[in-house]
Amino acid sequence: MRGVMLGDEPPLLRRDDARLRSVPFMTEAPSFAETQAVHTRLATIRFSAPPSLLPSLPPTTNTDNNNNNNNNNSSSRSSSSSDNSALSPSLPPSPPPPTADPDWDVALATLILEKSFTPSFLPPSLPPSLLTSRNEEGKTLLHLAAEGGKEGWIEALLLRGANPCLLDLRDRPPYFLCANKGSRDAFRRARGREGGREGGEGGGGGWDWGRAGVPEGLTEEGERRRREKAKEKKKRAKSNKSKRKEGGEGEDGKEEVEEKEQEKEEEMEDLRQPKCDMCGKRVKVLYTRLEFVYCSTDCVQGHKRQLLSEAALRRFGGGL
C-alpha cells in the first residue's frame, strides 16, 4: 500500500505534502472498513467528568444560613478572612514526572542512536532486564532502534530476545515507530523466522506478532519470489514502453501515408474537374452558358463579350 500511494510511478501522494499526518495508533490491514474505523476514531471527542478539586461540604439549611449571617456580622474582617483561608481547599499534588527504570542502560541507548556504531560488539546474550527496561518515555531499546531506522540493531535485539510487544507510554509497540522500510522488514523477517506463530510472550521467542502490529513475516523463499516478481514487473514495464514507442512511430508513418494519398486524390480530383472557358482555372462551382462552363459570373460576362467581338471581327473581315 505504501508503494502504491507513495511509489515512484506517478505517486498518488507526495511525502513532502504538509497535509499528510501519521495515524497516532496501530491500525489493521489497509482496507476501506479500517479507513472508516480510523476516521471515526480520529473524529470522535470523548468527554469525561473532571476530577473533584473541592472537598465535599455538608448541605446547608435556612437556619444554618441565618446563623452564618449573624456570625459574619459580629465577626471582624480579619477573622472572616482567616476563616475563609482555612476553608479554602488545597489542590492535589501533581504526579511526579516519569523516570527511567533502574536497569535502563543510557550508554547502550546512546550507542543505538549513534550512526557510526553497529551491534557487532554485543555479546550473544543480554540480560532480560536490560531488554525490557524503559526510559522516561516508556521506550525500550527496541523502540529506539525502530525509531532511528536501525535495521541491524533491530535484528540484533530481536535475536537476543527483545520483546516486540512492549508498549511505550503512548501505547505504541516498536514496529509502529519504524522510520523506514528496512526497519519494518527487519521485524517481518524476525516473524518469518518463527514461522508466523501467534504465541504468548515467553522469553526466547513465540511473540504475539499480531499484538506487536507486525504484518506477515518475510522468509527467504518469499523474498526470492518478491524479487523475481519485481524483476518481471520491471521487464514487463520496459517491454510495454518499447511497444508503445514502436506503436507511436507506426501510427506516425501511417498518418504520413494517409496524407500523401489524400493529396494524390485531391490532385486527381482537380484533373477530373473541367476548366473555365474564360480564364482556364479548374471549375468547382459551374456556371454554364450554351456549351461553355465558367468559374464565376465575371468569366461568363467576359467570355460573352469576347465571343461577340470575335463574331463582329469575322463579319467585318468577311465584308472586306
Residue with cell 448541605: 59
For residues 113, 114, 119, 122, the Cα torsion angle rounded to the nearest 10 degrees is -80
Which of the residues in the chain have pLDDT under 70?
1-10, 49-92, 94, 196-205, 246-254, 269-272, 283-286, 318-320
Q: CA-CA distance, 188 to 183, in Å (whole number)?
A: 9
**Sequence-ordered list of residues with C-beta below 8 angstroms from that of 177, at least 6 positions apart, any chain:** 143, 146, 147
> Do residues 158 and 190 touch, judged by C-beta distance below 8 A?
yes
> Do residues 28 and 34 touch, judged by C-beta distance below 8 A?
yes
Question: Residue 59: what pLDDT?
Answer: 55
Question: Residue 200: what pLDDT?
Answer: 47
Residues 47-77 as b or e (16 or more Cβ within 10 Å = b): eeeeeeeeeeeeeeeeeeeeeeeeeeeeeee
Q: CA-CA distance, 289 to 294, in Å (whole number)?
A: 8
Question: Residue 3: what pLDDT?
Answer: 63
Question: Residue 61: what pLDDT?
Answer: 54
Q: CA-CA distance, 97 to 100, in Å (whole number)?
A: 10
Question: Residue 178: what pLDDT?
Answer: 92
Residues 81-112 as b or e (16 or more Cβ within 10 Å = b): eeeeeeeeeeeeeeeeeeebeeebbeebbebb
Q: How far is CA 205 from CA 39, 58, 133, 201, in A?
A: 34, 59, 18, 7
pTM over 0.85: no
Q: How far is CA 178 from CA 71, 91, 183, 212, 312, in A?
A: 68, 41, 6, 12, 109
190 is written with which cell numbers? 524476525
Radius of gyration of the chain (CA): 46
Helix, strand, coil shares of the chain as percentages rounded to 5? 55, 5, 45
Residue with cell 486524390: 265
Mean pLDDT (the chain) is: 77
Three-state DSSP state, 205: coil
Q: How far is CA 94 from CA 85, 87, 91, 97, 98, in A?
A: 21, 21, 9, 9, 12
Please name the helix (run of DSSP H) or strand (run of DSSP E) that holds residue 240, with its range, or none.
Answer: helix 220-272
Q: CA-CA distance, 118 to 122, in Å (whole number)?
A: 9
Question: Residue 11: what pLDDT?
Answer: 72
